[in-house]
Each structure stands twice: as structure tokens, then as C-alpha cells.
Amino acid sequence: MTAGILAHLVGSRPYRELAKEVAARGFPYMQLALSKAITDVDFSLGKLSPGLGNEVGGAFAENGVRIAVLGCYASLIDLDDETYRHNVDRFKEHLRNARHFGAPIVATEVGVPPARDPELLKKHWDRLHAAMDELVEEAERFGAIIGLEAAQNHLIDSPETMARTIERYPSSCVGVVLDPCNLMGSHNFGRQDEVVREAFRLLGPRIVSAHAKDLKRDADGIPRETAAGSGELNYELFFSLLERQKPRGFVTLEAVTDENMQEAAAFIREGRAAARA
């Protein structure tokens, strides 16, 4: 059983140095947000190409590290036309070139509405649906998978809103990046098992990757992010459901530092192995 890492958590640096650093920490795969993790290449819109993907992806492959996911975190719900167009075109560019990096998945959270006014929310949903119409067509054309991730305060913020979105797009090129902690806040952490079970019931077949961090309540009872294994998430339940639904799938660490990275990775590896025993 394995664990991956968000590449920038080992430090933003030139891509050949980054490849060696990720390998040295024992991670066989990673989620790579290009502009966040790599300092010696300009990845702005219009710069990606098969050659660039092959060069960067090859450097990681030479060190025994696969790029499981390209992170392209950009709002797909922005109501400013110029910003919206830029973000959609950037995501499409990642989809076109993902295979040259060796990455099967391009992932994103969809964006945070500035207000919860019903009329405004409808406009944001319309934006998202328009974006997805374009992105699904691009993903199908170039053999990539769109990984949508729910997160608190985002337009897609729960198993239910995610389920409604992916039901609208039954394409095999649309999947779910499942982070159980992103589905919880003060309002529902006390019933976390119910939330996790519902997420797998609604989304299980469409999961393409998972994230691993933890939540620990502070003195005021507010769940705060921490490294996997150092909080209160019922990982025994999560791993049993994950390994049953998507055995040996990608699980990528978040919310870790150099000091606790190895401990969290060991926790994930051991927990996944126990779930399969």
C-alpha cells in the first residue's frame, strides 16, 4: 500500500531538484500543481506543450516518481468573463497535455461563491455547467480524466452537490477526488461516519483519487486541519470503504510538514494495508 504527496509540500524548486526530493522522501507518486511546485519553468496559459510535458514528466519518471494528478486549481464559476475564460482555457490546456506529463487526472475544486444569494448561486451553477460542457468534450478528446473535489464553502461542498454534478456528466472522463475532511465542518463533524458512508454511497464508483489529512477540534469545538493520523477522523472506516470500492487507488497526503510527513505517510500505508488484510 502506498501514499503520495502534494509536490509543493516538499518545497517549491526547479523540477529536476523537486523530482529528487520527492523520491528521497519515498513517495512513488504525487499530485503536481505546476506553477505552485516548480520554479524554473513558466507554466502560464499558452506555454504547455507535449515537449514540455515530456521533459518535466521524464525527470520525475527517471527518479521513480509518477505524476498521479495534475492540479489545476482555478475557479470555474467566476462571473467575470475574462477571468472565467482564462481559467477554463487553462484547464483545457492541462487536459490536452496531461498524458505527456504521465498524468491520468487533472483536478480542481470548482470555486467559492462570494455570497449565498439564491439568484447569484444560480448564475454560478450556470457558469460551472458551461465550463464542464467544454471540459468534458476536451477530456474525452484527449483521454484525460477531470477530477472534481468538493470543499467547504465551495459551490460543490458536499456529497450531495457533488453527486448532482457528476450525474449531469455521466462521462467516464469525469471523476471525484475524495477528501473526507473537505466534507466536514463544525455542523457535521460529530456525525462524521454518516458523512463518509454517504459520500461512498453517492460517489464511490466515480472516485479517481483521494486526499489524506485529518481534523482535530480545538477548544471551541471547531475542526482544524492537521496531518493524517494526528486528529479525530475515523480512518479505519474511511480506508475500509476506500479499499473495498477503489483498491490500490491514489491517496495523496495534504496538511503535512517536513517534520511529520514520514509519520503521516506510514500511517496511511499501514492503515491501507490493514484495511485489505
pLDDT above 90 (res 277) = no
What backbone torsions phi and psi does residue 31 show, to the nearest 5 degrees? -105, 125
3-class DSSP state for residue 26? coil
- How far is 89 from 164, CA to CA, in rounded Å? 24
Counting residues of the chain whose pLDDT is more than 70, the rounded percentage is 100
Per-domain boundaries in the chain: 4-276
Counting residues of the chain whose pLDDT is more than 90, the rounded percentage is 99
pLDDT in tens, 135-166: 999 999 999 999 999 999 999 999 999 999 99
12 grid coordinates: 517549491
Residue 74's pLDDT band, with cuts at 50, 70 and 90, is very high
Average pLDDT over residues 113-133: 96
pLDDT in tens, 10-24: 999 999 999 999 999
Supply the pLDDT for residue 1. 73
Fold classified for 4-276: TIM Barrel (3.20.20)
What backbone torsions phi and psi does residue 223 show, to the nearest 5 degrees? -70, 130
pLDDT in tens, 231-266: 999 999 999 999 999 999 999 999 999 999 999 999
Averaged confidence pLDDT in the chain:
97
Supply the pLDDT for residue 108. 98
Asked if 131 and 76 touch (Cβ cutoff 8 Å), the reply is yes
Average pLDDT over residues 51-72: 98
Supply the pLDDT for residue 180. 98
106: left (phi over 0), alpha (psi -120 to 50) or beta: beta
Contacts of 56 (CB under 8 A, 6+ apart): 15, 34, 38, 41, 101
Supply the pLDDT for residue 58. 98
- How far is 20 from 16, CA to CA, in rounded Å? 7
Are β-strands 174-178 and 214-217 bridged in parallel, bridged antiparallel, or unpaired?
unpaired
pLDDT above 80 (res 103) = yes
| pTM of structure | 0.97
Return the number of other C-beta atoms located less than 10 Å from residue 90's C-beta.
Answer: 18
Q: Which helix (H) or strand (E) holds 184?
A: none
- How far is 109 from 132, CA to CA, in rounded Å? 13
